[in-house]
Structure 1
């Protein structure tokens, strides 16, 4: 029965995590826009930042910390990676997708819980980005 109050309000932490993710991403974009002063260059720098995070993670995974999970532990603290860790692939949670995958012989073993550690990491990054944006604006003579 889908009218029970417990079913209707289940997994509500996703809405909060999604809100925190958006605020963090937009504060990061604000920081880049204030830092670079041009919106197109800020978007380009955002793409470059993502590539740098991937390259640094790859370097740690295959050269520095071989055959360990230390690279994954460190990478969860990268800004864009921390934002992506808040909500992991929400569409694969749907019953229709899981039943279709079960018919094809696939099994989903993902942990869809919203971790308080991930929320704390993203909130720290959000605070830093807003503070750095404010500090840059205060330092500049507008």
Structure 2
């Protein structure tokens, strides 16, 4: 495994576009800190975003993982381009000639995917911890380290998404087409949900129950949007006669579904590569 990882790190070291995109991704995550300086004015009322509790422990684990997850497309570009380069520069064929089996090749890519997900999760943890210690109103140890399951959900979400991107990269061979296929898949899931909700079952609950098994929807279900948890939002909603009856906990059913899809995508990547004549 160490040998496989060293091979992938060597390739990434000389991939300038991958390094640039990865740096941009991590820089954008650090920009979450800039949210603290944003100040809004409504008439005579001024308020700063950081003062609304978004950096309070343990809410920050939920908020930051949700925001960071929206940036995952940057690393998805790295994953698919990494696979595309294997075909373009014929390094895949050379690796196989040098004695690397197809199973080991897919395993090396999966290790890279795990590495990207782990480093990103660690980075979000560090950024969140620093921001929380600076701005949180609650600094008790028991509170700081509560609800950290959002970090695990974030890791699994990235793992599933990157495995999907790896599968598309192997299937399509070209990064632009792979990303296009990813967009088409998202549209198809949305259309399928709409048809179930408005045409076939005409029931939102049934549509939600079935769509939770869709890969992208399952990844989305791992971390529910956190904004409606804010006290200011709840207060405004109650004044308007509205309420939020939803669970913000990590969906463990989505957790299992995403892990299952991760296995399926990795297995399909190997099957495609095994049968393909290189």
**Which of these residues, 179, 186, 192, is aligned with residue 56 of structure 1?**
192
Hey, what does 1:121 align to over in structure 2?
Answer: 257
Residue 103 (structure 1) shift:
4.2
Hey, what does 1:102 align to over in structure 2?
Answer: 235
**Could you tell me the TM-score, scaled by structure 2's length?**
0.47
1:133 aligned to 2:272? no
Name stretches of at least 5 consecutive residues in structure 1 with no aligned partner.
none
Q: Aligned partners of 1:108, 1:65: CA distance in 2, in Å? A: 25
Q: Aligned partners of 2:263, 2:203: CA distance in 1, in Å? A: 34
Secondary structure in structure 1 of the residue aligned to 2:246: coil
Residue 141 (structure 1) shift:
2.6
Change over 3 Å in CA distance of 1:100–1:55 after alignment to 2: closer
Hey, what does 1:90 align to over in structure 2?
Answer: 226
Q: C-alpha offsets along residues 27-65 of structure 1, whole Å, 9 cap, x if unaligned?
A: 001111111111000000111111111111111111111
Change over 3 Å in CA distance of 1:81–1:22 after alignment to 2: same
1:38 aligned to 2:174? yes
Q: C-alpha offsets along residues 57-114 of structure 1, whole Å, 9 cap, x if unaligned?
A: 1111111112362111001100100000000113443x4xx32551463644331101
Greater RCO, 1 or 2 (C-alpha within 8 Å, sep 6+): 1
Q: Aligned partners of 1:124, 1:58: CA distance in 2, in Å? A: 24
**Which of these residues, 20, 34, 41, is aligned with residue 156 of structure 2?**
20
Change over 3 Å in CA distance of 1:33–1:65 after alignment to 2: same
Larger mean CA deviation between 4-13 and 104-113 belongs to 104-113
Q: C-alpha offsets along residues 109-141 of structure 1, whole Å, 9 cap, x if unaligned?
A: 331101221100110001100110111112123
1:9 aligned to 2:145? yes
Secondary structure in structure 2 of the residue aligned to 1:69: helix
The answer to whether the 8 Å contact 2:196/2:203 transfers is no
Q: Aligned partners of 2:204, 2:211: CA distance in 1, in Å? A: 13
Bigger radius of gyration among the two: 2
The answer to whether the 8 Å contact 2:219/2:258 transfers is yes
